Amino acid sequence: MCGLVLLVGEKSQGLISECTERLRHRGPDSTSISIGNGVSLGFQRLSINGDAVQGHQPFEEQGWSAVVNGEVYNYLDLITRYELPKSGCDTSVMLPLFLLMKEDVIDELDGFYAAAILNPERTEAFCFRDLIGKKPLFVGSFKGTVFITSELKALPEADWFKALPKGVSKVDLISGKFELLKEHHQESTDTPLNEALIESVLKRLPADDQPLGVFLSGGLDSSIIASITSRFREDAHYFILGNKDSSDSVAAQTVVDYLDLKNVSYVPLPHEHEIPQLVSETVYATESYNPSVISNGLSTFLLAKAARKAGIRVALTGEGADELFGGYHQFSEKEPWQETRKQLINDMQFTELRRLDLSCMASSIEPRCPFLDRKVRAYSNQLDYCQLYNTKTNKVALRQSFSDYLPDEILHRQKTSCDVGSGVRGMVVRYLHQNGRSEREELLEIWNTHFNFESTNNYFHSYPVFDAAIDVRGESHR
């Protein structure tokens, strides 16, 4: 919902305005720049909670400064419990809580966030990322300037960079070196899955006077989110990507009819001649030349553009269910399903969540993912093989928990990725293959027109679990 960039060094003051401007899409409502002690800090705000004064960043207290990108759902409880200054801005609790309990603050926060808190001497930054790594945050340097940023495109180049780890890290602002101070602890829960997910959806609903979007593909995950949302927000606006005969559109229409949804927008596929420009825009938005990130990213990019045009700022999505509840593979119990599931979850910050966040924020849309709630994840971590997979299907626990929320044809629909179900992948694959080269080769050439980084860095191209399949995929490979 916001973008931040911090620069340290002699050249930082001359660069900060340009670097901050490159993140305007993440927060078009206001721009703030703070300069002092050799540190330049830029912030772009997308206003969702709190007025312009309450939400102005950086937050300042006792010489410390903080910039926070994200959402803290339990901020009112934290204000009461710890007697913090009253505020309508959820992220304003981060700095005073940090001053009370230092890195243990992450044990108290319920939400998604990436934040940097600077000490008064401006020699160190304490950086925070949420449990799943939903919001991006990088550290690196170029030509003697150390940086911390929400997106790499804020920088003209980099000698090196790394994604900051989930949890709390301390960054030396002279060298850029960092150490992990505290990791998130794994939680457990006794709450049934349907109760946990309903609670998760409710806490992610914006205020009643703010419009709400839901991205609906007709797949199990997004349909569950749509079904729950429809029970609490009659005014929610549902967005469906694909022409009328696409498999996703047909399935989504079944959900629309079953739930009697009223406010629905059908987002048509682009024309073939529009694909080159749209692919280029998606490469820039996602900072990637991985074919899967691009074709699925374009699907998200189109939905986000339509939502923004309709006046939406917050959209609910079904991301996270595949990784947590066993949606990608049909394993036998003898296969290494636990290791694969763990890697998929750990990689999300660089794969599906990176695709979601950057594709949505390119249109200033804040995507919220109820399946990634702390309590929902805790429930999923307690599932055994038979609750994830059986001989006929997967997502066993998820399908059982919401059996009365959806029609059978949706409840038992097999996974089809959004780019395939909408028809976007076919358009992208045909375009990228027209010169007889691989998708990666074509995408790398496009990527090089946008970025001046070292392209071999895994961040720009890797999807570890699926890369082998991606490189031989066709227009409809699932």
Binding residues for L-glutamine: 90
Q: Sign of dihedral through CA atoms 340, 343, 348, 350?
A: negative
Determine whether 89 is an active site residue: no
Give counts: helices (H), strands (E), the chain.
19, 17
Q: Any residues with CB less than 8 A from the CB of 386 and at least 6 apart, and which?
A: 396
- Bridge partners (DSSP) of residue 162 are 139
Backbone angles phi, psi at 337, to 5 degrees: -65, -35
Q: Which residues are annotated as a binding site?
A: 90
Half-sphere exposure of 315 (CA within 13 A, CB side): 35
- Residue 192 preceded by cis peptide, ω within 30: no
The whole-angstrom separation of Cα 205 and Cα 236 is 10
Query: Among candidates 115, 50, 118, 125, which has minimal Cα distance to 87?
Result: 50
Question: What DSSP assignment string belongs to 77-105?
Answer: HHHHHTTPPP-S-GGGGHHHHHHHHGGGG
Q: How far apart are CA 378 and CA 450, in angstroms?
A: 40
Beta-carbon count within 10 A of 458 CB: 10
* Among 2, 19, 360, 418, the one annotated catalytic: 2
Active-site residues, by number, are 2
